[in-house]
Amino acid sequence: MRLSSTFLSLSTAITAVLAAPSVNKRAACSSAVTIAQSENPFSGRTLHANAKYREEVETAVAAITDSSLKAKAAKVADVGSFLWLDTISTIPSFEGYLNQTSCEEIFGVVIYDLPGRDCAAKASNGELATGQLSTYKTQYIDPIVSIIKANPNIAIAAVIEPDSLPNLVTNSNLTTCQSAASEYREGVAYALKQLNLPNVAMYIDAGHGGWLGWNDNLTPGATELANAYKNAGSPSSVHGVASNVAGWNAWIKNPGEFENTPDGQYNKAQDESRYVQYFGAALSSAGMPNHFIIDTGRNAVQGLRLEWGDWCNVKGAGFGVRPTETTGNSLADAFVWVKPGGESDGTSDSSATRYDSFCGKDDAYKPSPEAGTWNQAYFEELIKNAVPSF
């Protein structure tokens, strides 16, 4: 009897271990999800490892011959990350990814298709031109909202339009950003208003400490974001902002990477934890919810950039802290992976239409393909340099 009962519990344990992670089919919530504005949406919910990134990683794993690296790479498939809806054509596949989310998880999505997108750079220019705001509303935002409304039992975290409002604060002397400004403002407000649903938690993109963290940018930055929030009717689904999206800054680093430079004295937000402190205070003063999620997808290694503003495929980078609600900071709801590590930030081919000179700098990895497309060699570097390691 003893023997067989030991055998039984052992075999049960083995079945459980095999079944849970490989199939990823834990049950969806049986009733509608409501995320209170006072609640941390990530508390008790793990960021879902979406099937799009999982497929990219699994294809990458198959191409790796080194067995040790291959084993590490395979683990990346289980890390939660955000799905980027960066063109209208990505919307039909959205629901099939979304509805694989279990009740213990939250699905991350990036809203990223404003008219005149990426007005201060070239690598991520979008499909919609300035003047196409009605297309953005009716063919991009509205269909996404319909899909979310059809899936009320799933918790969703949405990052709203990376780089857009920050560009209006610091790049207003560029004609491209000037002509995009009114549609950015109206488009973001429209997205916030329409996505104000019980099961959605929104975070408006706020750049990073090296962007809106400059002393002179804190108040204008917070005002710009708060205006969008207020113009949307102060939606209760807005929890605050996303920082360091696709970025490289450390969470805590003293002194900061660029603190002891001549300009360092003009920026108190030398790491993302200090950005949370200072920009969080500015948001509160401006009358906006001030919780943060911070992208730690690629910030494991510091000291790589020649200048703080260098943003393209930084050479030597590693995967950072895995998504978690344990941040040690009451304003930081979670560390998340927003940028899917391995997808390029921009092409290094100087003859390409979307070539941006930042992708040709000495600290940028070359060769790199077009933004959003897979760079196998860069993915392997991220694994080798990961902290914590895989």
Ligand X SMILES: *[C@@H]1O[C@H](CO)[C@@H](O)[C@H](O)[C@H]1NC(C)=O
252 contact partners, CB below 8 Å, separation of at least 6: 271, 272, 273
DSSP letter at 259?
Answer: T
Q: CB-wise, 30 or 173, nearer to ligand X?
A: 173
Cα–Cα distances (Å) from 226 to 62, 233, 286, in that order, read 46, 11, 6
- Residues 98-127 interacting with ligand X (rule: CB under 6 A): 99
Q: CB-wise, 169 or 332, nearer to ligand X?
A: 169
Minimum CB separation of residue 25 from ligand X in Å reads 10
The answer to whether 295 is annotated as binding is: no
Minimum CB separation of residue 106 from ligand X in Å reads 17
Residue 84's Cβ-count burial label (10 Å; 0-12, 13-18, 19+) is buried
The answer to whether 230 is annotated as binding is: no
At 131, the amino acid letter reads G
Residue 153 near residue 30, CB atoms below 8 Å = yes
The answer to whether 86 is annotated as binding is: yes
Minimum CB separation of residue 199 from ligand X in Å reads 15
Q: Can you say whether the dihedral through the CA atoms of 122, 126, 129, 130 is positive or negative?
A: negative
Minimum CB separation of residue 95 from ligand X in Å reads 4
CB atoms within 10 A of CB 362: 8
Given 118, 205, 271, 295, which residue is catalytic? 118
The answer to whether 248 is annotated as binding is: no
Given 205, 295, 333, 345, which residue is catalytic? 345
Q: What is the 3-state secondary structure (H, E, C) of 104-151?
A: CEEEEEEECCCCCCCCCCCCCCCCCCCCCHHHHHHHHHHHHHHHHHCC
Q: CB-wise, 65 or 173, nearer to ligand X?
A: 173
* Per-residue mark of binding to ligand X, 67-96 (x: CB under 6 A): ----------------------------xx
DSSP letter at 333?
Answer: E
Residue 241 near residue 176, CB atoms below 8 Å = no
216 is catalytic: no
The strand pairing partners of 241, in sequence order, are: 204, 292
Among residues 221, 213, 241, 246, the alpha carbon closest in space to that of 121 is found at 246
Given 163, 205, 271, 310, which residue is catalytic? 163
- Residues 286-325 interacting with ligand X (rule: CB under 6 A): none
Q: What angle do CA 171, 174, 175 make, to 5 degrees?
A: 140
Q: How far apart are CA 364 and CA 66, in angstroms?
A: 25
163 is catalytic: yes
Q: CB-wise, 66 or 307, nearer to ligand X?
A: 307
The answer to whether 343 is annotated as binding is: yes
Helix (H/G/I), strand (E/B), else coil: 173: coil
Minimum CB separation of residue 63 from ligand X in Å reads 29
- Residues 172-231 interacting with ligand X (rule: CB under 6 A): 173-174
Minimum CB separation of residue 262 from ligand X in Å reads 15
345 is catalytic: yes
Q: CB-wise, 210 or 289, nearer to ligand X?
A: 210
Measure CA 55 to chain center: 18
The answer to whether 361 is annotated as binding is: no
Q: CB-wise, 95 or 127, nearer to ligand X?
A: 95
Using CB under 6 A as the binding criterion, the count of chain residues that bind ligand X stands at 5
The answer to whether 381 is annotated as binding is: no
* Per-residue mark of binding to ligand X, 124-163 (x: CB under 6 A): ----------------------------------------
Q: Which residues are catalytic?
A: 118, 163, 345
Report the binding-site residues for substrate. 84, 86, 208, 211, 311, 339, 343
- Interface residues toward ligand X, by CB under 6 A: 95-96, 99, 173-174
